[in-house]
Structure 1
Amino acid sequence: MGMYCTLRRIPMGKLESYLENSNLLKEDFYSNEVSEIPQLDIDKSWDGIIFLLTGKSHNNVGQNVLASTILGTASFDESLNLGYGAPRYLLPEEVKSINNKIKILNVEDLKFRFNAGQMIEQDVYPDIWEDQRSFEYLQEYFVKIQSFYQHASWANEAIVITIL
């Protein structure tokens, strides 16, 4: 098992309904019915991507705009613990701001920021940072995140983030 991260794009009206009644979020995200909520599963890459964006693991990052790409800026009702804490979210204007920051990053930027030694030293999850395949794993998911944020920005959507 492990900690997997999923990002979901939702209209602001839906976010407001989740904030009023967090059980609706649980019902929508975890029902057996096919969901129409656009989502992106980034597997276990989430903390490695935080490191590429900030130079720190999620345990050490503090308040950082780029870390919000994965960690969000606010959380739902803490009693709604779906795995690794309560789901977190970003408002549409925050999504647009983050999109503007991450869309300018390219593969060379990411390669420059990748440092397996520091990642191991900082206990970046998961413990797989020994070789070039580790970077390729993060690169693959980061490109998907860039596209996901771009589409959410265009649609003026919020993003809900769960780590399970």
Structure 2
Amino acid sequence: MGIIQQYVRIDQDTLDRYVENSQLLQDDLFSTPHSEKNNLLDIGKSWDGLFYVITGEPLTNHKAVTPPLKWLIYGPNILDLEQDMGYGPATYLTATQTQELFDAVKVIAEQSLSDRFDANKMNEEGVYPEFWEDPEALNYLIEEFRKLKAFLQVATQENQAVISFLC
């Protein structure tokens, strides 16, 4: 199956409830089929590749990346350090931080993603899932980038926070 990245758009009241009781996040996520959730974005296995082509760094070197782009995969706030969503705890962006991330992402040209895409280097650096030599890999990343940008745009327009987690 593999490791996938998911994002959830929520209002401030819902974020406050989740911060108070993180189990509510899991209850909400797993009580409704994904296909019925319009506030959920699943970027599949593209997360590490997206981080690489957007920032120029592998996620293993995320400390070299400055906010807000540093927050693409892991938000600056941990929901509950004890909660494991599959590969660690969920993190989140406040509505203000979501706006900051969207402002940084919306100006990124797809050509710059193409320019940074280097299948051999990405595989050498262990960028997950290490299938970058596939002829459709770049198109996959660009499509997932478009979805992420649209998702962040809606979150910004609706003044929403965003929770993210690997599972």
Q: TM-score range by the shorter chain?
A: over 0.9
Contact 1:10–1:37, Cα closer than 8 Å, also in 2:
no
Unpaired stretches in structure 1, ≥5 consecutive residues: none
d(CA) in 1 for partners of 2:96 and 2:144? 23
Partner of 1:53: 54
Partner of 2:106: 103
The worse-fitting range, judged by mean Cα deviation, of 27-36 and 97-106 is: 27-36
Partner of 2:137: 134
d(CA) in 1 for partners of 2:111 and 2:3? 27
Q: Offset at 1:28?
A: 0.8
**How many aligned residue pairs are there?**
164
RMSD, aligned CA:
1.6
TM-score (norm 2): 0.91
d(CA) in 1 for partners of 2:112 and 2:147? 16
Partner of 1:146: 149
d(CA) in 2 for partners of 1:55 and 1:80? 30
TM-score (norm 1): 0.93
Structure 1 pair 38–124 and aligned structure 2 pair: CA distance change class (3 A)? same
Q: Is 1:42 paired with 2:43?
A: yes
d(CA) in 2 for partners of 1:59 and 1:133? 24
The worse-fitting range, judged by mean Cα deviation, of 49-58 and 141-150 is: 49-58
Partner of 2:17: 17
Identity %: 34
d(CA) in 1 for partners of 2:33 and 2:25? 14
- Deviation above 3 Å: which 4+ runs of structure 1? 32-37
Unpaired stretches in structure 2, ≥5 consecutive residues: none
d(CA) in 2 for partners of 1:33 and 1:48? 27
d(CA) in 2 for partners of 1:132 and 1:64? 31
